[in-house]
Structure 1
Amino acid sequence: MIDLVEEIVVDGDITLGQFLKTEGIIESGGQAKWFLNEFEVFLNDELETRRGKKLNHQDRIDIPEVGSFLILHQGAE
């Protein structure tokens, strides 16, 4: 099986909760805490439960039920 990673280009700071909402994984920011408690979300291969966790350039997010994502900050090298 090929591991497909969707590249997400962001402009400026973004938190895990904002990412979930922006990508349509949750409908509102208020659902972030619930989602992170109900589903396993891995940030760089470590379980992450903080919706306010800032995402950095080249952070990888893996959500087994949803997919894999690579955060790319616009203009970052």
Structure 2
Amino acid sequence: MKQGYADQAAARAALVRIQEKLAAKRSSRAMPVRVYPCDRCLGWHTTAKRQKRMAAWDKDPGWDRTSEEIARIDALLRNEVRSQL
């Protein structure tokens, strides 16, 4: 299960901690390299997958979803839950 973080700052802090821990252990586990916002939980996660182009949140560490985006995602998730009932 993925570890979720409440905001971008918490995810970025966790990213640094994870990278330091894995480097110290010389772990063969995939090293996370970035953070991303999750449309399922509305939180943030770390990932080892690289991106071809820089995302808006990588350009602006203060980036956050607009209230319209949150409402759209919430509506999509509610419709998904209803369709599973």
- Same fold flag (TM > 0.5): no
Structure with the largest fraction of strand: 1
TM-score, normalised via structure 1 length: 0.30
Structure with the largest fraction of helix: 2
